[in-house]
Amino acid sequence: MKQKKFILQENELPTQWYNIQADMPNKPLPPLNPATHEPVGVDDLAHIFPRECCVQELDTEHAWIDIPEEVQEKYRYYRSTPLVRAYALEEALDTPAHIYFKNESVNPLGSHKINSALPQCYYAKQEGTTNVTTETGAGQWGAALSYAAKVYGLEAAVYQVKVTMQQKPYRSSIMRTFGAAVTGSPSMSTRAGKNILTEDPTHPGSLGTAISEAVELATTTPNCKYTLGSVLNHVALHQSIIGLEAEKQMEMAGEYPDMVIACFGGGSNFGGIAFPFMRHNLKDGKTTEFIAAEPESCPKLTRGKFEYDFGDEAGYTPLLPMYTLGHNFKPANIHAGGLRYHGAGVIVSQLLKDNMMHGVDIPQLESFEAGTLFARTEGIIPAPESCHAIAATIREAIKCKETGEKKVILFNLSGHGLIDMPSYDLYINGDLRNYAISDKEIRDNLKEIEKYQK
Ligand SMILES: *Cc1c(COP(=O)(O)O)cnc(C)c1O
Which pLDDT tens digit goes with each residue over 310-346?
Answer: 988 788 889 999 999 999 898 888 888 889 889 999 9
Best CA proximity match to 145, nearest among 159, 166, 126: 159
* Per-residue pLDDT of the chain in tens (454 residues, 90 and over written 9): 899 999 999 999 999 999 999 999 999 999 999 999 999 999 999 999 999 999 999 999 999 999 999 999 999 999 999 999 999 999 999 999 999 999 999 988 999 999 999 999 999 999 999 999 999 988 999 999 999 999 999 999 999 999 888 878 899 999 999 999 999 999 999 999 999 999 999 999 988 889 899 999 999 999 999 999 999 999 999 999 999 999 999 999 999 999 999 999 999 999 999 999 999 999 999 999 999 999 999 999 999 999 999 988 788 889 999 999 999 898 888 888 889 889 999 999 999 999 999 999 999 999 999 999 999 999 999 999 999 999 999 999 999 999 999 999 999 999 999 999 999 999 999 999 999 999 999 999 998 787 777 6
385, 412, 416, best to mutate for ligand 1 pocket (most atoms within 8 Å of CB): 385
Q: Is the CB of 111 under 6 A from ligand 1?
A: yes
Taking all residues of the chain, what is their mean pLDDT, rounded to a whole number? 95
Q: What percent of the chain has pLDDT over 90?
A: 88
φ/ψ of residue 133, rounded to 5 = -135, 160
Residue 8: the pLDDT is 98
Sheet holding 408-413, edge to edge: 5-6, 83-85, 98-103, 408-413, 259-263, 289-295, 358-362
CB 257 less than 6 A from any atom of ligand 1: no
Neighbours of 79 (CB within 10 A): 21
What is the Å distance from ligand 1's center to 36 Cα? 33
| Mutation pick for ligand 1 pocket among 111, 275, 419 (CB with most ligand atoms within 8 Å) | 111
Q: How far does residue 110's CA lie from ligand 1's centre (Å)?
A: 11
Residue among 425, 358, 439 nearest 395 (CA):
358
* C-alpha closest to that of 361 among 320, 325, 327, 328: 325
CA distances (Å), origin 10, targets 101, 230, 437: 20, 26, 46
Please tell me the distance between residue 403's alpha carbon and the centre of ligand 1 in angstroms. Answer: 32
Cα separation values, 269 from 54, 243, 265, 339, 341, Å: 20, 9, 9, 11, 14
Output the CA–CA distances (angstroms, integers) from residue 201 to 185, 186, 197, 205, 315, in the order listed: 12, 9, 4, 10, 19
The three-state secondary structure class of 227 is coil
User: Ligand 1 centre from 248 Cα, in Å?
Assistant: 23
Q: Is 250 in the pocket of ligand 1 (CB under 6 A)?
A: no
Whole-number pLDDT of residue 454: 61
Residue 240 CA to ligand 1 centre (angstroms): 14
Q: What is the pLDDT of residue 168?
A: 81
What's the DSSP call for residue 32? B
454 C-alpha vs ligand 1 centroid, how far in Å?
31
Ligand 1, closest atom to CA 270?
9
Q: How far is the CA of 404 from the centre of ligand 1 (A)?
A: 32
To the nearest 10°, report the CA torsion of 253, 256, 357, 55.
70
- In this predicted structure, what is the pLDDT of residue 280? 98
Report the greatest alpha carbon distance in the chain: 64
140 pocket-lining for ligand 1 (C-beta < 6 Å): yes
113 Cβ closer than 6 Å to some ligand 1 atom: yes
Neighbours of 120 (CB within 10 A): 29
Ligand 1 contact via 386 beta carbon (within 6 Å): yes
Strand pairing partners for 226?
133
* Whether 68 contacts 118, CB under 8 Å: no
Q: Which atom of ligand 1 is nearest to the CA of 416?
A: 13
Q: Quick one: which atom of ligand 1 is closest to the CA of 113?
A: 15
Q: Confirm or reject: Cβ of 393 under 6 Å from ligand 1.
A: no
Residue among 136, 140, 300 whose CB has most ligand 1 atoms within 8 A, to mutate:
140
Residue whose C-alpha is closest to residue 133's, from 235, 217, 45: 217
Q: Angle at which helices 233-253 and 268-284 pack, to 10 degrees? A: 60
332 three-class SS: coil
Please tell me if the CB atom of residue 269 comes closer than 6 angstroms to any atom of ligand 1. Answer: yes
